[in-house]
Amino acid sequence: MRRYASTVVVLLAAAGVLFSAFPAATASDLSVAPNGVTIPKGYRNWQVVAPSQRDDKDEIRVILGNGIAMKAYRAKQLPFPDGAILAKLAWKRVKSAEFDNTFVPGEPQRIEFVVKDAKKYAGTGGWGFGRFVDGKPADEKQHATCWPCHEANVKGHDWVFTRYAR
């Protein structure tokens, strides 16, 4: 009996290891984009690459970078090394009630990440793209629009739009 119990424990532990090593990215898993990109822990505390603003969507944004990305930006290192991650936080642009002609972030619209892994994402410039709205990943159709746009417009900057704002 003791031996049986031990075997069960070992089997359960092995199953646990397997499960965490290969997390399932299914439609029911709300934290993983179709290509495996997840929301990196602590991204809101990352340093700023630059703010940006978009008229047609009436949004204001800020682009942040993890440590690897910021180091590469400051060293003007291209292509970005594996492990570099950029985050784009987008809010509706709203008029400040306290200061004329000034616009500030309103409702959050989405957060997006690009994750550099030259081998894993070889088919999309070495970048994995993840878009999340209310913490949930967008569908495959939306994700399919990311790479063609980066590919068409920013070949000379390792497919990354945002430059470091000095």
Can you give the binding site for a copy of itself, defined by CB under 8 A?
A: 44-48, 50-57, 60-62, 64, 89, 91, 93, 96, 98-105, 108, 149, 153-154, 161-163, 165-166
Supply the minimum distance, in Å, between the C-beta of residue 24 and a copy of itself: 29
Report the residue number, 25 or 154, with the smaller CB distance to a copy of itself.
154
Report the residue number, 43 or 79, with the smaller CB distance to a copy of itself.
43
Supply the minimum distance, in Å, between the C-beta of residue 113 and a copy of itself: 16
Report the residue number, 92 or 120, with the smaller CB distance to a copy of itself.
92
Q: How far apart are CA 148 and CA 159, in angstroms?
A: 10
Report the residue number, 79 or 91, with the smaller CB distance to a copy of itself.
91
Residue 158 and residue 79 in contact, taking contact as beta carbons nearer than 8 Å: yes
Structure tokens at 108: 């959050």
Give the Å distances, CA to CA, from 96 to 62, 99, 103, 106, 107: 18, 6, 5, 10, 13
Supply the minimum distance, in Å, between the C-beta of residue 63 and a copy of itself: 10
Q: Cβ-count burial of 77 within 10 angstroms (0-12 exposed, 13-18 middle, 19+ buried)?
A: middle
Supply the minimum distance, in Å, between the C-beta of residue 96 and a copy of itself: 7
Q: How far apart are CA 105 and CA 132, in angstroms?
A: 18
Supply the minimum distance, in Å, between the C-beta of residue 65 and a copy of itself: 11
- What is the b/e burial string over 33-63, where b = at least 16 CB atoms within 10 angstroms of the residue's CB? bbbebbbeeebeebeebbeeeeeeeebbbbb
Report the residue number, 120 or 157, with the smaller CB distance to a copy of itself.
157
